[in-house]
Amino acid sequence: MKIVSACLLFFVFVVALTAHAQISSFQHVVVIFQENRTPDNLFQGLCSAPYGACAVPPTTAAPYDIQTSNWKTKGGSIQPTTVPLANTYDLSHAHSAFNAMCDVVVGNPPTCKMDGAAGIACSPQKGTSCPPNPQFKYVDNSTGILNPYLTLATQYGWANYMFQTNQGPSFPAHQFIFGGTSAPSQSDDSQGIFAGENMNGGAKVAGCNALSTTTVNVVSPNPTPPPYGIENSKIYPCFEHQTMADLITDWMYYAAGPGSIWTAPNAINHICVPSGGECTGWGTHVVANNPSQVLTDLGNCDLHQLTWVTPTAANSDHASSNDGGGPSWVASVVNAIGNSTCTDTVKGKQLTYWQDTAIIITWDDWGGWYDHEKPTILEGVEGDYQYGFRVPMIVVSAYTPAGYVNNHRHDFGTILRFIEGNFGITEGQLGFADSRATTNLQLFFLLNQAPRTFTTIPAPKDANFFIHDPRPPEPPDND
């Protein structure tokens, strides 16, 4: 009888929450994808006033898991020093660089010692040289350049344990965020066979409209590790499997180049439909040469159910190719949504974009920078390429409490699960990273609470700057 009463009370509680929910789901989900950073490298500002405090492991008083000193090396430890956001060198973030930094301990599943960052190669800009210990740097915020990021992280939701799904660079990472896998096919994914790198030879065009001679290395399981994952074949970078764009028909992808490795739809044959060196099949779903078009579209009340936003090189945070514009770029997109007067009619109510949009901000890979947190390595064949290192993630919405810190482990598959669940699609339906993930971001949203009033995120550059920027919208470099 007590059990029945408890169940009845719980049912009443759930019904009450549902009845008083402001919204049952979001009308729009926007995924903003930045480049090549770790929490330890980009978010040291969370460790001091006025933003917060850090501890390893985190505590109630110091909730952010950022390591500020004694970064681990094979010889002991090293004290990190600062580097500008717009620095003059890049670090390898190939699969081999993952193996170097991880310094694997063979097991089932394997684990990382996380002491090998010094083994990651450094490539300086022409006429410059790499500094000592280039991997052991964190971004200098003495000018406040990172304040838009820090404001977003502390005024909305921060994930302490967000990991890139793949153990490699941008091309496979963007495939994972778009479709849950970088495998050429569904069968390849189940066998742990993934496109694991960027284009060979520095090819400037990726995907199904690339030159016929273009190849990408394939990572396959190694039956006798180490290493986990061996690159023993190359394939043309045009794949065939379902993506989120097949599950949600109202989608848009903003990018800086139709053949870029950051333009994920170009590598899916039935979406690209290549002809004459161009993708002819994606129609109006891809804005391929102007990411700032998202700001114009938002001003015209043209926001789709699912939107991916990728940056130009200058605004990407990508080492050696950005000019420091990334924090302002992200803030401009968030501000355009938060301050929009555009509305949707939802169950007879008029809701602004701010009131019915979830914004997820994350970075595609670790960029070769140090991070102290060990990734969870999947068991089975997928574990030879999943998961990679930690990347930042900020979740923004009118229903996300200020200062919320989430300590569950997430990856790109988590984001896909959230998108699926939000739009009434069975979570894990793609059968890729969305199926392997165990979380779905729901804890970032209190939909039964009244929507928060939006406050503009201060930033040095605003939407007007990006919309009228005369520079060609170059994609980040092809490393």
- pLDDT mean over 77-102: 97
In this structure, is residue 309 part of a structural domain? yes
Residue 408 has pLDDT above 50, yes or no: yes
Judged against a pLDDT cut of 70, whether residue 15 lies above it is answered with: no
Q: pLDDT tens digits, residue range 351-366?
A: 999 999 999 999 999 9
Q: Tell whether 475 is covered by a domain.
A: no
Q: Give the model's pLDDT for residue 11.
A: 38
Residue 386 domain boundaries: 24-467
Residue 340: inside a domain, yes or no?
A: yes
Query: What pLDDT score does 477 carry?
Result: 73
Written as one string, the DSSP assignment of 310-369 is ---STTS--TTT--S-HHHHHHHHHHHHHT---EEEETTEEEEGGGGEEEEEEES--TT-
pLDDT at 404: 98
* Cα 348 to Cα 291: distance, rounded to the nearest angstrom: 33
pLDDT > 70: percent of the chain: 95
| Confidence check: pLDDT of 455 > 50 | yes
Q: How deeply is 9 buried, as exposed, middle or buried, from its count of CB atoms within 10 A (0-12, 13-18, 19+)? A: exposed
User: What confidence score (pLDDT) does residue 479 get?
Assistant: 60
Please say if the pLDDT value at position 6 is more than 70: no
* pLDDT at 476 (0 to 100): 87
Among 50, 69, 233, smallest CA distance to 136 is for 69
pLDDT, residue 475, reads 92
Which amino acid is residue 436, in one-letter code? R
* pLDDT computed for residue 311 by the predictor: 98
Percent above pLDDT 90 for the chain: 92
User: Quick one: tokens of 305?
Assistant: 């159910």
Question: Residue 17: is its pLDDT beyond 60?
Answer: no
pLDDT in tens, 198-256: 999 988 899 999 999 999 999 999 999 999 999 989 999 999 999 999 999 999 999 99
- In the structure, what pLDDT confidence band is assigned to residue 21 with cuts at 50, 70 and 90? low
The tens digit of pLDDT for each residue in 330-345 reads 999 999 999 999 999 9
Q: Indicate if the pLDDT at residue 264 is higher than 60.
A: yes
pLDDT for res 14: 36
Count structural domains, the chain. 1
Tell whether 16 is covered by a domain.
Answer: no
pLDDT of residue 291: 97
Give the pLDDT confidence score for residue 191 in this predicted structure: 97
**10 Å Cβ neighbour count for 355?**
23
Looking at residue 394, its pLDDT comes to 98
End-to-end CA distance of the chain: 65
Does 479 fall in a domain? no
- Residues near 358 by Cβ (< 8 Å), separated by ≥ 6? 26, 28, 29, 30, 395, 396, 397, 418, 422, 445
> What is the distance between the alpha carbons of residues 319 and 397, in angstroms, rounded to a whole number?
29
The percent of the chain in helix, strand and coil, each rounded to the nearest 5, is 30, 20, 50
Q: Average the pLDDT over 87-115 and give the result.
A: 96
State the average pLDDT for the chain: 94
Contacts of 117 (CB under 8 A, 6+ apart): 71, 73, 100, 101, 135, 136, 368, 369, 370
The confidence score (pLDDT) of residue 67 equals: 98
Rg (the chain; Cα; Å): 22
Question: Is residue 476, in this structure, part of any structural domain at all?
Answer: no
- 295-321 pLDDT, tens per residue? 999 999 999 999 999 999 999 999 999
- Burial of 271 per CB tally in 10 Å (0-12, 13-18, 19+): buried
Query: β-strand 393-396 against 357-363: which pairing, if any?
Result: antiparallel
Structural domain contains residue 474: no
Residue 130: pLDDT over 80: yes
- Domain of 321: which CATH number? 3.40.720.10
Q: Is residue 6 part of a domain?
A: no
Amino acid at the residue 468:
H
Whole-angstrom Cα distance, residue 315 to residue 321?
Answer: 9
Q: Residue 478 — very low, low, confident or very high, per pLDDT cuts 50/70/90?
A: low
What DSSP state is assigned to residue 51? T
Q: How far is CA 425 from CA 268, 431, 447, 473, in A?
A: 21, 13, 19, 35
For residue 2, pLDDT beyond 50:
no
